[in-house]
Chain A
Amino acid sequence: MAQIDVKVDGVSYSDDVEPRLLLVQYLRERLGKTGTVVGCDTSNCGACTVHLDGRSVKSCSVLAVQASGHEVTTIEGLSPDGELHPMQQAFHECHALQCGYCTPGMIMQSVDLVADNPDPSEQEVREGLEGNLCRCTGYQNIVAAVRSAAQTMRAEGGPR
């Protein structure tokens, strides 16, 4: 067992974990953060995407011990004040989700994408989301949502 100290969605945790435990398993099974989901076992689908110190990572590709000393934000911590993040709002407005399984990862990746590129073109959004699979939407409304959120965030004075 290894001890980790990690801050998740603003709360500090200190836990003993098996060294092989994946971050996504730690989030889901130990912290009950089931908003982050598992969609594959090869890091292809991106459903488990969270932020590690503000940058997107696939939490199935990070060991819990690697997150020790760092800060993790999940979909559940994206709008701590109860008000939707502009990206969440845009996904709702643009009908960018159907079954919603890929949505937490897609939103977390999109937030990171817009932080990097505040005014992405359609093609830049498509390429920036290449590591996140959606089977329902055909991506068109996701692309529209990301660009719409980017516009809102620019108007509000930068990324959140």
Chain B
Amino acid sequence: MTAVEDRTAPDAPQGEVGTARRRKEDQRLITGRTRWTDNMTLPGMLHLAMVRSPFAHARITSVDVEAARSAPGVVAVVAGGDLAAEQGTLPNVWNITPDQKTPTHPAMAVDTVRFAGEIVACVVARSAAAARDAVELVDVDYDELPVLLDTWEALTDETVIHPEIGTNQSAHLVMDHQTESSVGDVDAVIEAARADGIVFERTYEQQRLIPAFMEPRSMVCDPTGEQLVLWSATQIPHVLRVLLALSLGISESKLRVIAPDVGGGFGGKLQVTPEEFVTVLVARRLGKACKYTETRSESLMVGHHGRAQHQKLTLAADKDGTVRGLKAELVADMGAYLSLLGGGTPTLGAFMFNGIYKFDAYRFDLRTVFTNAAWTDAYRGAGRPEATFAIERLMDDFAHEMGMDPLELRAKNWITHEEFPFTTVAGLEYDSGNYEAATAKARELFGYDDLRREQAERREAGDPVQLGIGVSTFTEMCGIAPSRILGALSYAAGGWEHAGIRVLPTGKVEVTTGTTPHGQGHETAWSQIVADRLGVAFEDVEVLHGDTQITPKGMDTYGSRSLVVGGIAVVKAADKVVEKAKVIAAHMLEASPDDVEFSGGAFAVRGTDQSKTMAEVAFATFAAHDLPEGVEPSLDSDATFDPATFSYPHGTHLCAVEVDTETGEVSIRSYVCVDDIGNVINPLIVEGQVHGGLAQGIAQALFEEAVYDESGTLVTGSFVDYLVPSAADLPSFTTDRTETPATTNPLGVKGVGEAGTIASTPAVVNAAVDAVRHLGVDSLSMPLSPHRVWQSIQGQSISESPREQVVSGEQLADPQPGSGQIPTGGAEQDGGLR
């Protein structure tokens, strides 16, 4: 574990930035004085419960609400037909190709349901219990339609899920890149390698995952005042406000959206949801405050899922292992509708398949496809974990093919620290990094050479428990995102962030931020930044967020953007405060502003002992009795920061696993990661982000998968079957850092929210494959359940298509809960993508 320096004195000369401040947020959270949305009760508030389709694909032939409407306590029952004229369509904001097919997505199904769990009606009652009771009384008749769950089958278009668009393929995006020194495009490079080099092909599978934030989504809409106020457990109050206004035709100025305490998100609350639409429409119609809180089962079933991608990689290399060309061909499962980001999520991976390596030519080829499953969207990392998994699995597999140590092969091909800034084959300029330093540190902490020796001994001895070592040297693009790049990618909005600073008469400070934390600790970290910048005490900074009336501008929290974009906006607003205050301080000191210096919270006349503190200047500004001519009586400032580029954290993760070859059980023996996220504002928070990220990435490797049966019912629809790991399932991690500051922002920061998740999944799978490769196993499908691993060791290939397993009757069951079901993904295998 990283030793964190504990400097807590508010006047410590080093300043606040870089200290392990305990979080301001904690007090209310550890004492139960929280403001979760579901905790809210408004006078006369009504409760909603949703009637959801049990079928994955069906026509609705009738909805009989009479019995429900007359049940005790029921105020109204609303069916799709009632909302058809006003509900519009849920928004998709990312047109990844000019001809992308974006079907209409009604919040409440009117005539057809396309995945199990879609809302078909809504009961409004005096209590949540009365509403749920009456849901049972709503009688819906369906005509079932053929169910498509397999993306390959969907691509045949034999059944079309959205007849109005005539195909199940939403978009086909191709991005081709080559460097000036390349012999040609990626096909030419591959052809050259076929003649005089190596061509190496692999397919990998990203199973469907569920974000599984701990707080189920909840929303309260109050239409009783001048404005329509919506409290929602969301990551994106600002985006939600704009899109509700645009989609439902409500004047934006009449909408106020508040994200109070929000219990985790991980991308899962980066969505504009049917439930929010329905709650707003019903509350507006009834003129009464309405609350809807989902059950966990509903959350798992209808909250968007993540990953769900088939990947085929073709690598061209020289005979000595120098990589030359890379082709990534993907098929991504969108589920039944395009979500908010839709095909944009896999598109974020387009820039990351090349990783930290130097390629001459690269092609990214993505097809996005509709199926009768829950919609997919961002889940921690969003496109980048998928890409990183593929390239890091590929490098380990290729190293084995070459007979090289996987670290040696990487070092041969990665960008060396002297080469920064480096423009990658995908066209991004990596500003800084030091892969050698992070790797050397990780290698030492891990005891790499000793573990390799032990591995060899166990192989030699034929130990039933084999040791494997997995490597992942990742990078990611963070700080989503430069607006001009988003524009070039046909994303509908910008990627800037906004901050404001209000200097109160007593010199205390309020910071407003457009980022919206839900566990990340912005209140603490932003306080540290402002304390240093303005020379005020950490305790005297109040950070306000998550309410469009208090923080009117923002782009919210996702994509490791909060510090890298939002934090820089805070810095720029603070610097404006200092500039304004300096003019007034100079006037108070009867000096020229040019002679006044600001440091440690005081304005001093250079070369004298004359000074004024920020608090003195604040009060003089408030009083406004004697200000310089033409200067307004306010120090308040704000800033909107649009990043010029992304930031590029990187790191080396090393994982040792033991695989019991008799049972197939995989257990992590040690996990070491050295991350380089640039400068650090709060090492305690950083370490927490890394721990949590690792847990989620490891969970993808070992435990989690959203599984449907052949009729499209989610069988992992509760925490009994969807295996979020517990404390007993995870090891302790050794985390450390190298610090190569970002050169593209004034704090030198890079972002840390997604690093652990992105890096860890391939490290774990690489380790497991490494443990059993000598037994003839060169691929393992996620999650690595004991049965799957055992089956692979036995030489039983795992079929790629769920349908084939149904036909052959072959069991892919694992002995854990949720067994005996059909995976949505399938095994990773050699050979082609069909």
Pairwise interchain contact B34-A34, C-beta atoms closer than 8 A: yes
State whether A100 touches B519 (Cβ < 8 A). Answer: yes
Say whether A65 faces chain B, with CB atoms less than 8 Å apart.
Answer: no
Taking the closest CB of chain A, its distance from the CB of B299, in whole angstroms, is 9
Give bound CA distance, A155 to B756, whole Å.
Answer: 36
A126 at the interface (CB under 8 A from B): yes
Closest to A146 in B: B727
At the interface, yes or no: B505 with Cβ under 8 Å from chain A? no
Between A and B, 5 residue pairs with Cβ closer than 8 Å are A39-B215, A99-B262, A100-B263, A133-B726, A136-B688
Q: Determine if B694 and A138 form an interchain contact, defined as CB atoms under 8 angstroms apart.
A: yes
- Residues of chain A within 8 A of B129, CB atoms compared: 18, 25
Q: Which of A20-49 contact B (CB under 8 A)?
A: 25, 28-29, 32-42, 44-45, 47
In the assembled complex, the Cα of A70 lies from the Cα of B108 at a distance in Å of: 45
Say yes or no: is A98 at the interface (Cβ < 8 Å to chain B).
Answer: yes
Closest 8 CB pairs of A and B: A35-B32, A100-B29, A101-B263, A99-B519, A138-B691, A138-B695, A44-B719, A98-B519
B30 near A141 with CB under 8 A, answer: no
Q: Which of B31, B38, B215, B718 contacts A41 (CB 8 A)?
A: B718
A79 to B33, CA, bound (A): 12
Assess whether B519 is in contact with A126, with CB atoms less than 8 Å apart. no
Known: A92-B23, A95-B684. A38 touches B726 (CB 8 A): no
Q: Give the residues in chain A near B23, CB-CB below 8 Å.
A: 92, 95
B39 touches A103 (CB 8 A): no
Q: Does A135 contact B (CB under 8 A)?
A: yes
A125 within 8 A of B: yes
Docked pose: A8 CA to B67 CA in angstroms: 39
Identify A130's interface contact among B31, B212, B297, B726, CB under 8 A.
B726
Q: Which of A18, A33, A126 contacts B728 (CB 8 A)?
A: A126
Q: Is there an interface contact between B25 and A100, defined as CB atoms closer than 8 Å? A: yes
Question: Is B732 on the interface with A (CB-CB < 8 A)?
Answer: yes
Taken residue by residue from 62 to 85, chain A's Cβ proximity to chain B (1 for < 8 Å, 0 otherwise) reads as 000000000000111011000010
Interface size on B, residues (CB 8 A): 57
Residue interface bits A92-107, CB-to-B below 8 A is 1, else 0: 1101011111111001
Q: A98-B521, A99-B518, A100-B25 are in contact. Are A34 and B36 (CB under 8 A)?
A: yes
Which residues of chain B are within 8 angstroms of A16 by Cβ–Cβ distance? none
Question: What B residues does A125 contact at CB under 8 A?
Answer: 727
B266 contacts A135, C-beta separation under 8 Å: yes
In the assembled complex, B184 has its CB within 8 A of some CB on chain A: no
**Nearest B residue (CB) for A129:** B727
4 extra interface residue pairs, beta carbon distance < 8 Å, beyond A39-B215, A44-B719, A139-B730: A101-B214, A126-B730, A135-B212, A141-B687
Q: A135 contacts B32, CB within 8 Å?
A: no
Instruction: State the Cβ distance, B301 to closest chain A Cβ, in Å.
Output: 12
Could you tell me the dominant secondary structure of chain A's interface residues?
loop
When distances are taken between beta carbons in the complex, the residues of chain A under 8 Å from B694 are 138
With contact pairs A39-B215, A44-B719, A125-B727 given, residues A34 and B39 touching in the complex (Cβ less than 8 Å) = yes
Asked if B660 CB lies within 8 Å of chain A CBs, one says no
Q: Please indicate the chain B residues that have their CB under 8 angstroms from the CB of A34 in the complex.
A: 32, 34, 36, 38-39
A-B contact count (CB 8 A): 176
* Smallest CB gap from A93: residue in B: B22
A41 and B296 contact, Cβ closer than 8 Å, known pairs A103-B29, A140-B691? yes
Q: Is A137 located at the chain interface by the 8 A CB criterion?
A: yes
Residue-wise, chain B 285-311 has the 8 Å CB interface mask toward A (1 for contact) of 000000000011100000000000000
Interface hub of B129, B213, B215, B756 (most chain A Cβ within 10 A): B215
Task: Assess the A40–B728 pair: CB atoms within 8 A.
Answer: no
Decide if B36 touches A40 in the complex (CB within 8 Å).
Answer: no
Q: How large is the interface on A (under 10, 10 to 19, 20 to 34, 35 or more residues)?
A: 35 or more
Nearest CB in chain A to that of B298: its residue: A41
CB neighbours (8 Å) of A102 from chain B are 214
Q: Across the interface, do A45 and B26 meet the contact criterion of CB distance under 8 Å?
A: no
A89's nearest neighbour on chain B, judged by CB, is B30
Contacts of B29 in A (CB 8 A): 97, 100, 103
The answer to the question of A88 belonging to the interface, with a C-beta cut-off of 8 Å to chain B, is yes
Whether a CB of chain B sits under 8 angstroms from the CB of A143 is: yes
User: Across the two chains, which residue of chain B brings its CB closest to A40?
Assistant: B296
Nearest to B26 among chain A residues (CB) is A92
Among B212, B519, B732, point to the contact of A140 (Cβ < 8 A).
B732
Choice from A29, A75, A137, A143 contacting B688 with Cβ under 8 Å? A137
Residues of chain A in range 119-160 having any CB-CB distance to chain B below 8 Å: 122, 125-127, 129-143
Residue of A nearest to B293 (CB): A38
- Asked if A47 and B214 sit within 8 Å, CB to CB, the answer is yes
Given contacts A45-B296, A139-B730, A75 and B263 within 8 Å (CB-CB): no
Report A-chain residues with C-beta under 8 Å of the C-beta of B719. Answer: 40, 42, 44-45, 133
* Minimal Cβ-Cβ distance residue in B for A33: B32
Q: B214 touching A76 by the CB < 8 A rule?
A: no
Chain B neighbourhood of A18, CB < 8 A: 129
Residues 689-726 of chain B, each 1 if its beta carbon lies under 8 Å from chain A, else 0: 10111111000000000000000000000111000101
Q: Given the interface contacts A41-B718, A99-B519, A100-B29, does A131 sit within 8 Å of B215 by beta carbon? A: no
Assembled-state Cα–Cα distance A37/B684 (Å): 26
Contact of A137 with B692 in the complex, beta carbons under 8 Å = yes
- B23, B214, B691 — most chain A CB neighbours (10 Å): B214
